[in-house]
Copies of this chain bind each other. A is one copy, B any other.
Amino acid sequence: VQPVLGIGDDAALVQIAAGKQLVVAADTLVEGRHFPRDADPAQIASRAIRVNLSDMAAMGAEPLHYTLCLTLPDSDQDWLESFAAALRQDSELFKCSLIGGDTTRGELCISLQMLGVVETGAALKRSAASIGEAVWVTGNLGDAAAFIDSKFTGNADLANRFWRPQPRIDFALAAHSLIGACIDISDGLVADLGHICSASGVAATLQTDRLPLSQQLIEFAPDSARQLALTGGDDYELCFTSSAESETQLRAIATEQNIQLTRIGSISSGSGVNCLDENGSVLNFERSGYSHF
């Protein structure tokens, strides 16, 4: 999609089609805080754009354009070319384009603002969960957290899950009419499902023996896999609610798109997220998710 006016003027100009609403998200990655120093610029670029694309997926939106505010210590041509090439590749893959921004000198810091569109009234919100709905997640949970816990030394598969999360845009677009509330898992499943619960005024119960864990996670972190899946965050999978009648259709979309989909719990009246083990006993955690400070 091309903007009416792109990079090179005081601002970019974008046409929003009739019947569509604009969706706006912005996320920052800081070196040493969100990723290790001296990380590969291509990986940094990929993660920066994909975490923002994941917000589009969580809203059921189609990505359109983005601006990039890039602060970096020096004007290293190799670094910039590698960063830009990866950004371009993901832009093509997810059909969005860079329309503006700013480049400044300072500590390495990437702020990306993503613009997308959704049919008017069709946006997926955190506040739309209903009592009796099932709770679902896409993909596997805990992989990215295991990579972080290993101080970014874990194996290549886990690394890939951290650096190149898969924004579930096509799934959200195809399934949006079947979905109640939706969020992407950035802070951790318990924390993010908790956001759905508080926004919707409901409670959720998780059957933690159902959590989708990858083989690589179970091998890499056999003792903490479930804990990582519950509280680790950074997988950028979708967590959403849906009525029991929608299960067949949801599974059909997932099969068609070759996406793993797992029913992990249910919505009830009350507040907060209850985690049950295989015996139906309540699990307790020291931490429920990522703290921004």
Contacts and interface: CB of A to CB of B under 8 A. Distances in A.
Which 7 pairs across A and B sit closest by C-beta, in order of nearness? A69-B111, A11-B25, A10-B58, A30-B106, A111-B111, A107-B107, A26-B67
B67 A24 contact: yes
B59 A13 contact: yes
Contacts of A149: none
Interface string A7-45: 011111111101001111111111111100000000000
Nearest to A23: B11
B10 A111 contact: no
A113 B102 CA distance: 10
A21 to B, nearest CB: 5
A118 B27 contact: no
Pick the most buried of A8, A25, A182, A199: most chain B CB atoms within 10 A of its CB: A25
Given A15-B21, A26-B100, A103-B292, 8 more contacts: A10-B183, A10-B184, A11-B55, A14-B23, A24-B67, A26-B67, A32-B106, A75-B293
Contacts of A125: 5, 9
Interface of A: 4-5, 8-16, 18, 21-34, 55-56, 58-59, 61, 65, 67-69, 71, 75, 99-107, 109, 111, 113-116, 118, 120, 123, 125-127, 182-184, 199, 292-293
19 contacts: A5-B123, A9-B125, A9-B127, A9-B199, A10-B126, A11-B116, A13-B22, A13-B24, A13-B118, A14-B21, A14-B22, A16-B16, A16-B22, A26-B67, A26-B101, A26-B102, A30-B71, A34-B104, A75-B293
A24 B115 CA distance: 10
